[in-house]
Chain A
Amino acid sequence: KQEVTQIPAALSVPEGENLVLNCSFTDSAIYNLQWFRQDPGKGLTSLLLIQSSQREQTSGRLNASLDKSSGRSTLYIAASQPGDSATYLCAVNQAGTALIFGKGTTLSVSS
C-alpha cells in the first residue's frame, strides 16, 4: 500500500529565505506526483505536476524535483513571502487511481 510522508510537519522562516519541503513515497511505481497548497479552511490549489518520466517542474518561485527510484520529491520555494504561508501537500497516484496524500507541511513566513 502506497504511503506518503512529508517532512517537516511544520516550518517557520523569516521573509526572503529559500526553503525546501520534502516528500517521500514507499512505492516507486507512480504515475504522477502533484504538489498542492491549502489555505486554512479552503480547498486545494494545484502548484506543480510531475509525470513519473520527468525530473523537475518549475513555476515562478517554485521548483519541484522528482527522484522516482529513491521515492523522493522536493519542493523548493525561493525568496519566501508572507503570502506563501499555507499547508503544502504532496500526493502521488498510479495508473487510473486517486491521489494518495501526505500529511502536509505547514509553512509560516514572517515579515
Chain B
Amino acid sequence: SAVISQKPSRDICQRGTSLTIQCQVDSQVTMMFWYRQQPGQSLTLIATANQGSEATYESGFVIDKFPISRPNLTFSTLTVSNMSPEDSSIYLCSVTHRGQGTEAFFGQGTRLTVV
C-alpha cells in the first residue's frame, strides 16, 4: 500500500492568484496522477506527473494553467494558476505502480474555493 500526504487540505483563494498543492508519498511509486473533481461530479484526470520531465496533460488541460512538477519518485506538486471561481474543485493526487494488479491510492484531496 501507499500513504499519501496532500497539502493543503483546503484553501480559500482570491481570483487571479495561484495555489500550489503538494503530494508526498511514503514509498517510491512509478505513476503519479492529478485529478480534479468539480462539485457534484466524478473525477477527471488532469495529467500524469512524470519524474524529471514535463507532465503529460489530458485534453482540455494545459501546462500554463496547471503546471506540475515531479522532482523524484515520492513527491509532486500541482499549481492552479490565475484562478477563477470555475477552478473551485477538489484536487486529488493518485499513485500506483505500473502493471497489472497494482492498486491505485488517493490522497485526501485539496478542497479549493476561489472567491
Asked if A pairs with B, the answer is yes
A residues near B (Cβ < 8 Å) are: 31-32, 34, 36, 41-44, 46, 49, 51-53, 89, 91, 93, 95-96, 98-104
Total number of residue pairs linking A and B with CB closer than 8 Å: 60
Which residues of chain B have C-beta atoms less than 8 A from A49's C-beta?
A: 101, 103
Which residues of chain B have C-beta atoms less than 8 A from A104's C-beta?
A: 42
Q: Contact at B109–A34, with CB atoms within 8 Å? A: no
Number of interface residues of B (CB under 8 A): 25
Q: Contact at A42–B94, with CB atoms within 8 Å? A: no
Which residues of chain B have C-beta atoms less than 8 A from A46's C-beta?
A: 103-106
**B25 close to A (CB within 8 Å):** no
Q: Contact at A34–B111, with CB atoms within 8 Å? A: no
**B92 close to A (CB within 8 Å):** yes
Supposing A42-B108, A42-B109, A43-B107 touch, asked if A98 and B101 sit within 8 A by C-beta, the answer is no
Q: Contact at A98–B48, with CB atoms within 8 Å? A: yes
Q: Contact at A44–B90, with CB atoms within 8 Å? A: no
Which residues of chain B have C-beta atoms less than 8 A from A93's C-beta?
A: 104
**B100 close to A (CB within 8 Å):** yes
Which residues of chain A have C-beta atoms less than 8 A from B66's C-beta?
A: none
Supposing A41-B90, A43-B92, A89-B42 touch, asked if A99 and B104 sit within 8 A by C-beta, the answer is yes
Q: Of residues 85 to 115 in B, which have CB atoms within 8 Å of A's CB atoms?
A: 90, 92, 94, 98, 100-109, 111
Tell me the bound Cα distance from A51 to B97 in angstroms. Answer: 14
Closest 10 CB pairs of A and B: A43-B108, A44-B106, A51-B101, A103-B42, A43-B109, A101-B43, A98-B33, A101-B42, A49-B103, A98-B45
Q: Contact at B103–A98, with CB atoms within 8 Å? A: no
Q: List 20 additional A-B contacts (Cβ < 8 Å) besides A32-B104, A41-B90.
A: A32-B103, A41-B111, A43-B106, A43-B107, A44-B92, A46-B105, A46-B106, A49-B101, A89-B43, A91-B43, A93-B104, A95-B100, A96-B31, A99-B33, A99-B43, A99-B94, A101-B43, A101-B44, A103-B42, A104-B42
